[in-house]
Amino acid sequence: MHSRDRDRLVLAAVVFAVLFSQLLLYPGIATLVETLGADATASPFAQTALDASMWFLVSEFAAYVAFVGVWGMLSDVTGRRTPFIIVSALAGAASYAALALVPTIGSISFEGVLLLRVLQGAMTIGALSLTMTMLMDLEGGHGRNMGAAGIAIGLGAAMGAPIGGQLTEVNPLAPLAVASGLLVVGGVLVSFVPDRTPTQTRTARALLEGISRRPTLSIPYAFGFVDRMTAGFFALVGTLYFQETFNIDAGTTGLLLACFFAPFALLQYPMGTLSDRIGRTAPIVVGSICYGVGILLVGAAPTVSTAAIAMITIGILGALVSPTTMALVTDLADESERGLAMAGFNLAGNLGFLGGFLIGGTVASSYGYDLAFLTVGGLEIAIALVTIPIFLRLSLEQDGLVGRKSSESGD
């Protein structure tokens, strides 16, 4: 195996560990927050199971939003990535372990739990974003490298959801313990990969000015926001919707979520490689429109079986869009600004997750699940339609901005 391929595999494994850890908590989120002390009489953040679950997830992603740029900036300014990944992974592991110990301590309020969750999110986003940036630094085709990141994200989610559901059945705190151990493994693994950060370092001000001169990055950022919003929506609202509508337990819910994440994961690499050959526009625009329609079909599914089929369909469509969008970030960013550029993409994505939790949770709570599905699916369709003239006007593929370096690498 070529050293580049080996490093791609190891880095993808680290991304997998972070996402797998994150998704372990989702299927049993309502049970977990109850175990961690969510009580309507003691906390305004826990008036209902939906409220407590929403704020537990929002706390993590609020930290993602606040700190992802910090990690990217530190990496680009210092010209190093590996040390920051190791520190953030181990600190994230310690935070997960601290959350698992909350019930044994017994004196921590739910607000304190949320603060621990903020700390955990602030640390783990560094491991995720900078490992993805190390994949950007690899040669071999941007679509291929981001496809490797995408398949790791998808597999982590696909396996994390069902396994997390089963672990919850054993013990609600088991997902936290497993997540802690996996982040330790991720921190160790990344130490074996050479740090290929470009030797040209720049000041924080120069980095920000460089990114501001590339307004075309707003295109993948916008799609990243909406795509992650749908993921956040399904992580919270979708989970509760399936359980309430079809009267299923956490284990079955995890399997239903896996119907989306399995094809989403397995097709990321080939879809990313395909975008190296045919360009980014068609997979992103057409894929997003179809993806939005698929979300509406999930909300309209009358049975568990039809919901599973609809979830599989949007998983395939998501695999078409996700790695292509990340590859577009790499196409457009200067190599000395990759840490901050990927941080910006993850910032947009994490804001999307927050939007999925807050918008989806609020609409579902106030107006019902039907309107929640319509809102999220409609936004996915709308962003694709709005950006069609932008793609055409910029002529990204014709100008050589899309896939330029990939073709030079001989893919």
Q: What is the pLDDT of residue 83?
A: 94
What digits encode the pLDDT tens for the residues 226-284? 888 888 788 778 888 998 899 988 778 878 888 887 788 788 888 888 888 887 878 88
Provide the pLDDT for residue 201. Answer: 58
DSSP state of 336: G
The topology (CATH level 3) of 3-408 is: Growth Hormone; Chain: A; (1.20.1250)
Rounded to whole angstroms, the Cα distance separating 312 from 148 reads 20
How far is the C-alpha of 383 from the C-alpha of 219, rounded, in Å? 10
pLDDT of 151 reads 82
- Specify the pLDDT at position 312: 94
pLDDT at 290: 93
- pLDDT confidence of residue 296: 94
pTM over 0.75, yes/no? no
Sign of CA dihedral 112, 153, 5, 345: negative
pLDDT of residue 403: 47
Nearest to 164 by CA among 30, 269, 311: 30
3-class SS at 263? helix
Residue 226 one-letter amino acid: V
Q: Which regions in the chain score pLDDT beneath 70?
A: 1-2, 140, 199-214, 393-411
DSSP string of 13-37? HHHHHHHHHHHHTSTTHHHHHHHTT
Give the Cα separation of 233 and 129 in Å (integer): 21
The residue extents of the domains of the chain are 3-408
Using CA of residue 328, residue 148, residue 185, residue 315, what is the dihedral sign? positive
